Structure 1
């Protein structure tokens, strides 16, 4: 490509010259201030990995009632517990009504947050 200052064919550098951002050759870049756009990595947030359940298990029969009682014992509303678990309140409501079986990961989260056991061998 061509330098926007002298017209020379060269590898171009983005530089600020007299307040204007231009693509210039390395010689003309000394007329202003080179602009470097950092090629930084995007910020990644670590996702908490819960240990995978290796052995097969079954949920206890009245898991919804156990979850509801443990939640009430801790003084949490469904909304507050749902936020702690990063789940929707409606999902928690259906689990407490035994209409939805929680996933393995959600079982582990519930057990950890509420301090209960929902699995049986």
Structure 2
């Protein structure tokens, strides 16, 4: 995933794909400030998922916003936010003999197809007058 606005400095090695989810009901600001020559700051709305690339040594600061201020509410190492990237072997389409790990369940379930007559006469309830 390329970051157009602020790519990682070329001298940075070991970049990882990360994900942070704002599980609060408040707006947050996610900031990585411990990497020299790199600026990363994003607004994360409640329930929003932020996917980004960062150096392994990055420390994400989470600032929770109030009306006119924000407090530092968390400091998370980026390696704890790392996503598991699938290996290229999992997407190998040339091996048709192997079992597909993604399609283990059938897409459609078998319908119950009874061939016997399932129609029954309708029974109508009636009211009787009582004196």
User: Taking structure 1 as the reference length, what is the TM-score of the superposition?
Assistant: 0.25
User: Taking structure 2 as the reference length, what is the TM-score of the superposition?
Assistant: 0.23
